[in-house]
Amino acid sequence: MMLTQPIGLPDASEIHAEQLVIHADFPLASHHRLVRELESLRITVSQELDLPVSDEIVHLYLFHDTKSYSEYAAVHFPQFPTRRAFFVETDTSLAVFAPWQDRIAEDLRHETTHGYVHAVVPNIPLWLDEGLAEFFEVPRVTGGLHAEHLANLTGRLLEGTWQPDLERLERTKNAGDLTQDHYAEAWAWSYLMLRTTPERRTALEDFLRDLRKDAHTPPLSLRLSRINPSSHKDLVEHLQNLNIHSEK
């Protein structure tokens, strides 16, 4: 009787890139443009969020195709929602799993952001964790502007089928419950804080800094409403303005 071996971790090539150790089940060049990009993302994340850089290793496990990735994930992480790629934090390690496919650059920027952020803010709320990963997953030249989410949210606003609600987002604690709307809204709040006023940026940076010391620090919804009680209205207007300019 033939027994099929369960798929193991990729180990054909191993690349060390600052905080990253990249394991692939195919030959991957250490000077690959994506490797260099992920390396520089470490500094970008740290500067944008005013966070220290960490030396805690983030492991990236890359599979040559979606089939082997899915088989690995089904055996080792059956409880995880099915995603194109994913990030896992355990007591002992930070790890990303992804197959090499068309959107690999975007997926690795997203998942590696989780790694860099978790290395210094392990108790970041789920929604913000995803909002920041969406912010940093787009190519750097876009400055965090996620065209797909912007088009989606402004379309929904026009239809009258969506309104932002940061408190609602903060109550979402389960990764499996996250829909595209949650990802899009989480990106929108992240973008608002990082790309509009110094007060909002400071609110985000202070929140992350406080969170590193105290997991029960007041939430961002409260901090943003102290700056301006109409932050939901501001977000809607900002998205509509961005959309007008991006359509030109």
**Using CB under 5 A as the criterion, which residues of the chain lie in contact with Zn ion when the complex forms?**
130, 133
CB of 136: closest distance to Zn ion in angstroms? Answer: 10
Q: Tell me which residue has its CB nearest to Zn ion.
A: 133
CB of 133: closest distance to Zn ion in angstroms? Answer: 4
Task: Name which of 133 and 169 has its Cβ closer to Zn ion.
Answer: 133
CB of 119: closest distance to Zn ion in angstroms? Answer: 15
Task: Name which of 194 and 236 has its Cβ closer to Zn ion.
Answer: 194
CB of 81: closest distance to Zn ion in angstroms? Answer: 11
3-class SS string, the chain:
CCCCCCCCCCCCEEEEECCEEEEECCCCCCCCHHHHHHHHHHHHHHHHHCCCCCCCCEEEEEECCHHHHHHHHHHHCCCCCCCCCEEEECCCCEEEEEECCCCHHHHHHHHHHHHHHHHHCCCCCHHHHHHHHHHHHCCHHHCCCCHHHHHHHHHHHHHCCCCCCHHHHHHCCCHHHCCHHHHHHHHHHHHHHHHCCHHHHHHHHHHHHHHHHCCCCCCHHHHHHHHCCCHHHHHHHHHHHHHHHHHC
Task: Name which of 72 and 127 has its Cβ closer to Zn ion.
Answer: 127
Task: Name which of 96 and 194 has its Cβ closer to Zn ion.
Answer: 96
